[in-house]
Amino acid sequence: MEKKITEVILCKYGELILKGTNRSTFEAQLLREVRRRAAFFGRFDVHANQSTVYVEPENEESADRIDELYAQLKKVFGFVALCKAAVSEKTLEAILETAKAYLPAKLAGVKTFKCEAKRSDKRFPLSSPELAGEAGGAILEAMPHLTVNLTEPDVVVKIEVREQYAYIHAGQDKGAGGMPIGSAGKGMLLLSGGIDSPVAGWRMMRRGMTVECVHFESFPYTSEAAREKVFELAAELAEFCGKIKVHVISLTHIQESLRDRCEEDYFTLLLRRFMMKLASRSAEENGCPALITGESLGQVASQTLKAMVVTEDAADRPVFRPLIGMDKEEIVVNAREIGTFDTSILPYDDCCTVFTPRHPRTQPELEKVLREEGRVDVDALLEEAWGTRHCVVIEQQI
């Protein structure tokens, strides 16, 4: 009778291993996120030991969905690597038997391999190199088409002898990295419909921050399709955090007032200052000590050093700019990796493209900007815009 193989998921910590006495707090956040995702796919035992989270199916139905869960866990911040592994008793005979039964399907189409072993349990009678040699020989016996390549193998087979069992796996996938979601406070992301701001939000999530969004619209100058595009971007970000709030605020009257009363060259700067003020107020109401933007130094006229100084003057809290030193190509690569690029380039205008000045100021002086701002009733416009706000909660779809 063919031996039944038990397969589990091993999720390896990243920089979480560097934490000291507060490590348990970060670990608890990580386990909560893994358990939340696992609950969609069945019953799984989730526990941590030796800088690894073990995800073990508790019944056949759950085992049948382990691949789906594995795809979800690759989006969990805090893991540097993940793999699916076969479980074996900690005897040489059992390890070799399990390897010969489990690996052929995993190495189908592979030409070369290398076998490595790690003996965390020093009571195991063979050293790590000895175990690797024995396992490598067994693999060659079971799969004679393979050859050993110690320098550039197609697959690295690993045998890990841990506290209770031995685990056998054929390669691992890169994890999302970073720190567990929810471990670094909250930030308010200014989410436009462009390429940059979703990437900025993702990068702050990756550092453990819970992100909420504020989106500014200018109906009828911007369309319902543009708003739905932003909600889709939020849904794509929710794949990494589970749930995200989008606070929508209308800037229509603000933009019309700036157009009618202020010098055109200052329009974008003045609009950005209104955004900062409203975003700050939204952040205060929702417990976010910082703002997040997708600005990259020098990318457009409103992102020169002087322009950012002028706009940040209107904020009442720190402004995080995780893309500040990245060029556009790097940002596009990141957007493709996280799955937001195709939505970002849909051809729907956002409020920043409404009444765009022909010759925007790139080296503004704050004093002159404030003088232009004084041409409108700032407080009244802010209150009117604040009254248009509403919140949409976007949940991850699994």
Per-residue tokens: 192: 């436009």
| pLDDT confidence tier of residue 5, bands split at 50, 70 and 90 | confident
Is residue 59's pLDDT more than 90? yes
If you search the block for the tokens 């050859």, which residue do you land on?
147
Residue 271: which of 143, 184, 279 has the closest Cα?
A: 279
* Whether residues 218 and 350 fall in one domain: yes
* Whether residues 169 and 199 fall in one domain: no
Mean pLDDT of 9-15: 95
Cβ(9)–Cβ(70) below 8 Å: yes
Cβ(274)–Cβ(382) below 8 Å: yes
* Mean pLDDT over the full length of the chain: 94
| pLDDT confidence tier of residue 1, bands split at 50, 70 and 90 | very low
The model's pLDDT over 255-291, given as tens digits with 9 standing for 90+, comes to: 999 999 999 999 999 999 999 999 999 999 999 999 9
* Whether residues 221 and 367 fall in one domain: yes
Mean pLDDT of 109-126: 93
> Is the residue at 181 inside a domain?
no
**Which of 129, 145, 174 is the last residue before a domain boundary?**
174
Write the CATH number for 157: 3.30.2130.30
Q: How far is CA 300 from CA 276, 306, 363, 364, in A?
A: 18, 12, 12, 14
Give the CA dihedral 232, 347, 354, 380, nearest 10 degrees.
-10
Please enumerate in sequence order all residues whose Cβ is within 8 A of that of 141, keeping only pairs 6 or more positions apart, or say none. Answer: 100
- pTM for the predicted model, two decimal places: 0.92
**Which of 139, 174, 209 is the last residue before a domain boundary?**
174
* Whether residues 39 and 128 fall in one domain: yes
Cβ(363)–Cβ(260) below 8 Å: no
> Is the residue at 269 inside a domain?
yes
Instruction: State the Cα–Cα distance between residues 18 and 222, nearest whole angstrom.
Output: 47
Write the CATH number for 192: 3.40.50.620
Please provide residue 49's backbone torsions phi and psi, each rounded to the nearest 5 degrees.
-165, 140
Q: For the chain, what is the domain count?
A: 2
> Is the residue at 17 inside a domain?
yes
Please enumerate in sequence order all residues whose Cβ is within 8 A of that of 236, keeping only pairs 6 or more positions apart, or say none. Answer: 198, 338, 339, 340, 343
Instruction: State the Cα–Cα distance between residues 17 and 12, nearest whole angstrom.
Output: 10
> Is the residue at 1 inside a domain?
no
> Is the residue at 58 inside a domain?
yes
* Whether residues 196 and 305 fall in one domain: yes
Identity of the amino acid at 280? S
Residue 85: which of 104, 60, 103, 108 has the closest Cα?
A: 103
Cβ(303)–Cβ(266) below 8 Å: no
The model's pLDDT over 34-49, given as tens digits with 9 standing for 90+, comes to: 999 999 999 999 999 9
The model's pLDDT over 125-154, given as tens digits with 9 standing for 90+, comes to: 999 999 999 999 999 999 999 999 999 999
> Is the residue at 180 inside a domain?
no
* Whether residues 313 and 291 fall in one domain: yes
| pLDDT confidence tier of residue 356, bands split at 50, 70 and 90 | confident
Mean pLDDT of 6-32: 93
Per-residue tokens: 322: 């995780």
* Whether residues 147 and 238 fall in one domain: no
* Whether residues 376 and 306 fall in one domain: yes
Provide the H-helix boundaries in the chain: 23-38, 60-63, 66-73, 92-106, 128-142, 196-206, 224-241, 252-261, 267-285, 305-312, 328-338, 341-344, 366-373, 378-386
Is residue 99's pLDDT more than 80? yes
* Whether residues 268 and 318 fall in one domain: yes
> Is the residue at 179 inside a domain?
no
CB burial string 188-198: b at 16+ within 10 A, e below? bbbbbbbbbbb
Is residue 2's pLDDT more than 60? no
| pLDDT confidence tier of residue 3, bands split at 50, 70 and 90 | low
* Whether residues 68 and 96 fall in one domain: yes
| pLDDT confidence tier of residue 350, bands split at 50, 70 and 90 | confident
Cβ(262)–Cβ(372) below 8 Å: yes
Q: Are strands 390-395 and 243-250 parallel, antiparallel or unpaired?
A: antiparallel
Q: Domain residues for 361?
A: 186-395
* Whether residues 198 and 261 fall in one domain: yes
**Which of 119, 149, 174 is the last residue before a domain boundary?**
174
Instruction: State the Cα–Cα distance between residues 245 and 231, nearest whole angstrom.
Output: 10
Q: Is 214 left (phi over 0), alpha (psi -120 to 50) or beta?
A: beta
pLDDT for res 358: 85
> Is the residue at 30 inside a domain?
yes
* Whether residues 243 and 276 fall in one domain: yes
Cβ(316)–Cβ(285) below 8 Å: no
